[in-house]
Amino acid sequence: MLDWKRPEIGDIEKIRQIVYRTGEKGSDVSAANIFLLREKYNIRIAIKDGFLFRCYTGNRLPGRNGVAFLVGKGNLEKAVKELEEDRKERGLPVKYIFLTEQSREWLLKRNPESAFFSEDGNADYLYSAEHLGLLSGKKNHKKKNRVQHFKREYPDFLVRFIKPENFYLFTKDIIAVEEEWFATQEERIDSSFVERLEIYDACKFFKELELFGAVIYAGEQPVAMSLASEISQGVYDIHFEKSYGDFAKAGGFAAINQAFAKYLLERRAAVWINREEDIGLPGLRKAKLSYHPDLMLEKFHT
């Protein structure tokens, strides 16, 4: 049987190395997400023969309970058989989740009778880094106007960028933005509390997770922040993005989005930016669609 375990910070480098060389774009394979979301989605992992095995249980969202398709390089057929044998020995069904079109096709060739399903809320929203960083063209006119409005309202604004080597200078400002955002929420749902803990973890393990980020200041006050990590070469995942109060109303979200995307494009050679799924929330879906995604990465489950 596979040796399943809870993801620990010491596992992250090995996970990142396995994922990085695959060229995967999905937010679910992000090494940082696997660690930061370990409690939220009750994630368990196993690493064997160059493959990353993942198991998710106890989730209320459809299409998120089961074993994820394998990530890695090597004898895929052998690894899949080992996963299926592990499930059989444990008396558990082989229920696949987070299948891409490619992995779905691979399983379908193996078993043409397989049935697959998808949930709208599980698809990742991907944008070219050039798209978000430059906001050129008519379709981005409204977003560009929001950025310009923020700059007019706060002409003294300053953007500072965070790297693993200088993160300790900014953790208090990242948390300050989160605290201000949290304080303005009239309805504090469970996920808000969970996300708060994830942001604390991100700050605590910033270097180990190889995160990058940006903070916008109005004068000396931090008013917006964003944190991301690289999934595979040129593919960045936005884990958190926050602004609050009058700063958000003036275009704080649009300003941090554009500034950070431009940084990732010009300084980190970003090609794709993954802004993750909307988990079926209408407001989140509207916000992500307003940026006109270049690619919707659909995910299937059995």
Q: What is the radius of gyration, based on Cα positions, of the chain? A: 20
- Terminal Cα-to-Cα distance of the chain (whole angstroms): 22
**Distance between CA 32 and CA 197 in Å, rounded?**
14
Fold equal for 9-122 and 124-276: yes
- For residue 189, the model assigns a pLDDT of 65
Calculate the alpha carbon distances from 241 to 49, 196, 214, 291 in Å: 36, 12, 9, 15
Q: What confidence category does residue 295 fall into, taking pLDDT thresholds of 50, 70 and 90? A: very high
Helix 252-267, helix 141-153: angle, nearest 10: 110
162-180 pLDDT, tens digit per residue, is 999 999 999 999 999 999 9
HSE toward the beta carbon, residue 60, CA cutoff 13 A = 5
Fold classification of 9-122 is Aminopeptidase (3.40.630)
Q: Write out the DSSP string of 79-115.
A: HHHHHHHHHHHTT----EESB-HHHHHHHHHH-TT--
Strand 43-48 to 51-56 pairing: antiparallel
- For residue 60, the model assigns a pLDDT of 83
pTM: 0.95
225-280 pLDDT, tens digit per residue, is 999 999 999 999 999 999 999 999 999 999 999 999 999 999 999 999 999 999 99
148-165 pLDDT, tens digit per residue, is 999 999 999 999 999 999
Q: What does the domain layout of the chain look like in residue ranges?
A: 9-122, 124-276
61-102 pLDDT, tens digit per residue, is 889 999 999 999 999 999 999 999 999 999 999 999 999 999
Q: What confidence category does residue 190 fall into, taking pLDDT thresholds of 50, 70 and 90? A: confident
Q: For residue 240, what are the contacts with CB-CB under 8 A and spacing of at least 6?
A: 178, 195, 198, 199, 202, 225, 226, 227
> Cα-Cα-Cα-Cα dihedral of 82, 83, 86, 87, to 10°?
-140
Fold classification of 124-276 is Aminopeptidase (3.40.630)
Residue 23, pLDDT > 80, answer yes
